[in-house]
């Protein structure tokens, strides 16, 4: 979900400029049916142009009676040649309401005939083309104050927005116009008042351009003050849910960017009131999430969000970017508390991702759908069908009796611990269409100790019985029809996963996690990176027999792909000490700067200037479900500058922070990841050098000291003389001076251009690291 940050004046201007059309506000998503029928196996449908695409989302629409086009020259030239407006539909393959609108409208032959007669219809996978999504979502936010998917936008033939919204029902209802009514209205106005519409489109685009470009550019370089970090914490605390954790009401999203900032502030002041408050908010929320229904207790991993405030009933889709970010969040929680619960959750996420989202060569797929068939012989798909349980099912599957406990069965313990009820455990307000009636979404309200006391067992016994029960249910569930897998492999999201695996692997000393991260990085380098040009591709796809395929016209990477991949490679270097990853990160940063950096104002554009079909170059700013690519890029610049003694990268970071000065100062809670980068800038990067052999025991002992601490934005470097030809020794003057003492691994800690005396004892090293900025 997007939330608009357009100022009221800009929104009123755009509304006035599009006054020929009503603002088509979408219906509440809860007003539409969420069940439907898939295509009959016996029917053969004519395919449209989307059948030639690789994107799973586009291919889902290949048999619609709508004459869909992918975004590209053919469609855009057709619109101009035939002087037709464009209907642009943007979504993604695991989007529940995208499926609903397809069933209700795009598979409706009457509606499709209207679309085909009056419009050139273009379908875009927002995960393939985040640039197109961002441009027109900015418009939708401006006219309505919010946004989401599916996104439905009407454009002039030269791509200027006319009007739009998100999900529309097929017919008029609840006082809102239906999709067919909207189509006919736009077509009529285009036929009768084309010149006015074209003029309106020009005005709207001009307003968007003026409101999103250099109005924020300060006349002089102004870095937001360090106080912004404290303001951000106060703003987050003001929206914090003391009972269930989280920072919003329903629907409730994980928001890992908030955890990153709060753990950062905790690490700065671990014994102060502020630090304790930050830690409490993180740990409580992360525990409630892991206990909640948003967490898949049987098959591992986390769903996208909860429809309620208790983390109970999820929107069941699972996204790769959530898993990668939450892996980092739970790792920070484990480092802070050394609680085995968080360690188990770390392994839970890794288990899910590597089992269900991993290509055999190491790359990670994008997502799993929320919807699935009710059974193998059913034509009906329903959200959550794969994940929910009836009480009778659980009783039947877990009928085994517990030895030495009269009439006690596995099902008794499981149902008590996971709140499974005969009538189902989903409240009516959580299920407005009654689809989950009698069903149970597993959730834990009590502790293991409370369950043990209830049944007169030890905690160890209860843990064993629950583990056995989960294994039985997992085996049974694996025979159900699985949700659709979006097997698109996206560079940016793989960067987030590489980062999470690397951070977790280093923190818990798990070489398996680090190997998964290395495999993913090798995959990206092999299939998504052009060594000759230095360019990344946005995505690739799983073909027949697990081969890797590409679009007919491959899509080049965007700003976000470079930012997230550079972060992943920096974290992977620190986990593996393979200098190749640091060298690749620098190459990608150079390409990133060349194609996306705004030399005049600062900050990174989301797109290059080379695509004429992109009518507006925007800068990604707000930290939401994913961190803003500018936020990540800022910390990348600061870290790379410290790794490689490149002061010009520090200056870029300053210019970026200055560009966002007004926004970050006004609403810091909308920019927690950028605030974290700002704190790193003010505190300066902590450089940690360990001079020693990579695999020696004394080096590992010093690394253990680092692993036990949250050190935000730290730069961890290994000065191994056996690898003196790597990029660090070639580029960093300091690196050559870092020598081991008396043949023992030796640590140096450098802050604010001053290095400590060398130490070889872990206790002395710990004391150096515990000195706060």
Determine the Cα–Cα distance for residues 453 and 417; give it in Å rounded to an integer.
12
The DSSP secondary-structure symbol of 306 reads: E
- The reply to whether the predicted model has a pTM over 0.85 is yes
Residue 334 predicted with pLDDT over 50:
yes
The helix (run of H) or strand (run of E) holding residue 143 is: helix 130-144
Between the CA atoms of 186, 192, 193 and 195, what dihedral angle is there, to the nearest 10 degrees? Answer: 110
Q: Which CATH class is domain 8-212?
A: alpha beta
Can you list the positions of beta strands (E) in 502-623?
Answer: 539-542, 548-549
Per-residue pLDDT averaged across 463-489, rounded? 98
pLDDT tens digits, 755-765: 999 999 999 99
Token digits for 726? 């790597």
- CATH number for 687-769 (one of 3.30.110, 3.30.300, 3.40.30, 3.30.310): it is 3.40.30
Q: Which of 435, 262, 411 is nearest to 336 (CA)?
A: 262
Tally of CB atoms within 10 A around 437: 11
- First and final C-alpha spacing in the chain: 36
Give the pLDDT of residue 15.
52
- Evaluate whether 8-212 and 687-769 have a shared fold: yes
Residues in the chain: 773
Q: Are 389 and 403 in contact (CB under 8 A)?
A: no
Examine residue 150 and say whether the peptide bond preceding it is cis (omega within 30 degrees of 0).
Answer: yes
Residue 12 predicted with pLDDT over 60:
no
pLDDT tens digits, 65-88: 999 999 999 999 999 999 999 999
Please, what is the average pLDDT of the chain? 91
Residue 21 predicted with pLDDT over 70:
no
Residue 1 predicted with pLDDT over 70:
no
Q: Which of 507, 447, 517 is nearest to 263 (CA)?
A: 507
Q: Are 639 and 632 in contact (CB under 8 A)?
A: no
Examine residue 251 and say whether the peptide bond preceding it is cis (omega within 30 degrees of 0).
Answer: yes
More confident residue, 100 or 21: 100
Give the pLDDT of residue 20.
53
Map out the domains of the chain as residue ranges: 8-212, 243-358, 387-477, 687-769
477-480's contacts with Cβ under 8 Å and 24+ in sequence apart are: 477/298, 477/299, 477/386, 477/387, 480/372, 480/375, 480/385, 480/386
Give the pLDDT of residue 202.
86
Determine the Cα–Cα distance for residues 761 and 130; give it in Å rounded to an integer.
49
Between the CA atoms of 479, 483, 488 and 490, what dihedral angle is there, to the nearest 10 degrees? Answer: -110
DSSP string, 368-403: E-SEEESSTT--EEEETTTT-B-HHHHHHHT-PBPT
């Amino acid at each position: 979900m997007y939330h608009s940050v357009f100022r009221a004046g800009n929104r009123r201007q755009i509304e006035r400029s599009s006054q020929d059309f009503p603002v088509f506000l979408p219906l509440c998503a809860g007003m539409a049916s969420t069940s439907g029928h898939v295509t009959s196996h016996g029917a053969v449908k004519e395919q449209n142009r989307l059948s030639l695409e690789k994107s799973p989302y586009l291919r889902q629409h290949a048999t619609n009676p709508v004459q869909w086009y992918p975004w590209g020259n053919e469609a855009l030239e057709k619109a101009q040649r035939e002087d037709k407006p464009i209907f642009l539909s943007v979504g993604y393959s695991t989007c529940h309401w995208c499926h609903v609108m397809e069933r209700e409208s795009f598979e409706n032959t009457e509606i499709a005939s209207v679309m085909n007669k009056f419009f050139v219809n273009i379908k875009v996978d927002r995960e393939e083309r985040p640039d197109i999504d961002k441009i027109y979502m900015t418009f939708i936010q401006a006219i309505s104050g919010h946004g989401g998917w599916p996104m439905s936008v009407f454009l002039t033939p030269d791509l200027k927005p006319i009007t739009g919204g998100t999900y529309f029902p097929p017919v008029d209802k609840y006082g809102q116009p239906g999709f067919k009514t909207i189509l006919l209205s736009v077509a009529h106005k285009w036929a009768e008042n084309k010149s006015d519409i074209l003029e309106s489109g020009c005005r709207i685009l001009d307003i968007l351009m003026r409101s999103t470009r250099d109005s924020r550019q300060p006349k002089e370089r102004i870095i937001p003050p360090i106080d912004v970090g404290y303001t951000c914490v106060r703003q987050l605390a003001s929206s914090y849910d003391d009972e269930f954790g989280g920072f919003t009401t329903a629907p409730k999203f994980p928001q890992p960017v908030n955890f990153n900032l709060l753990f950062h502030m905790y690490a700065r002041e671990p014994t102060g009131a502020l630090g304790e408050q930050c830690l409490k908010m993180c740990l409580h929320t992360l525990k409630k999430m892991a206990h909640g229904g948003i967490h898949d207790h049987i098959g591992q991993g986390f769903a996208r969000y909860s429809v309620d405030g208790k983390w109970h009933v999820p929107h069941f889709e699972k996204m790769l970017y959530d898993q990668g970010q939450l892996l980092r969040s739970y790792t920070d929680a484990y480092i802070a508390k050394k609680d085995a619960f968080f360690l188990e959750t770390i392994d839970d996420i890794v288990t899910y991702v590597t089992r269900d989202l991993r290509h055999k060569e190491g790359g990670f797929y994008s997502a799993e759908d929320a919807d699935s068939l009710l059974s193998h012989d059913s034509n009906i798909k329903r959200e959550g069908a794969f994940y929910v349980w009836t009480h009778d099912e659980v009783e039947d599957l877990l009928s085994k009796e517990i030895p030495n406990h009269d009439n006690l069965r596995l099902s008794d313990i499981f149902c008590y611990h996971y709140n499974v009820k005969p009538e189902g455990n989903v409240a009516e307000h959580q299920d407005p269409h009654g689809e989950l009636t009698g069903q149970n979404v597993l959730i834990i309200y009590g502790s293991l100790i409370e369950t043990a006391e209830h049944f007169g067992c030890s905690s160890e016994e209860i843990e064993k019985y629950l583990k056995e029960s989960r294994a039985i249910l997992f085996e049974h569930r694996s025979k159900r029809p699985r949700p659709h897998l979006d097997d698109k492999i996206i560079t940016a999201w793989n960067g987030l996963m590489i980062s999470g695996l690397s951070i977790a692997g280093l923190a818990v000393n798990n070489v398996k996690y680090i190997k998964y991260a290395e495999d993913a990085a090798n995959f990206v380098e092999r299939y998504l990176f052009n060594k000759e040009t230095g360019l990344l591709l946005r995505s690739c796809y799983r073909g027949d027999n697990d081969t890797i395929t590409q679009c007919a016209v491959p899509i080049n990477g965007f700003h976000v792909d470079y930012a997230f991949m550079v972060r992943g490679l920096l974290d992977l270097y620190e986990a593996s000490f393979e200098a190749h990853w640091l060298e690749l990160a620098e190459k990608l940063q150079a390409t990133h700067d060349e194609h996306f950096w705004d030399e005049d104002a600062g900050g990174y554009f989301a797109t290059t200037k080379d695509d004429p079909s992109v009518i507006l170059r925007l800068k990604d700013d707000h930290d939401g479900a994913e961190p803003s690519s500018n936020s990540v890029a800022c910390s990348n610049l600061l870290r790379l500058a410290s790794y490689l003694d490149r002061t010009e990268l520090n200056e870029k970071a300053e210019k970026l922070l200055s560009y966002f000065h007004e926004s970050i100062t006004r609403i810091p809670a909308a920019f927690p990841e950028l605030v974290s980068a700002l704190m790193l800038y003010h505190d300066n990067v902590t450089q940690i050098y360990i001079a020693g052999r990579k695999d020696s025991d004394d080096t590992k002992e010093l690394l253990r000291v680092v692993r036990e601490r949250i050190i935000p934005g730290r730069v961890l470097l290994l000065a191994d003389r056996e690898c003196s030809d790597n990029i660090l020794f070639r580029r960093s003057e300091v690196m050559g001076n870092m020598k081991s003492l008396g043949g023992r691994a030796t640590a140096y800690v450098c802050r604010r251009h001053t290095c400590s005396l060398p130490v070889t004892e872990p206790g002395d090293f710990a004391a150096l690291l515990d000195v706060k900025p």
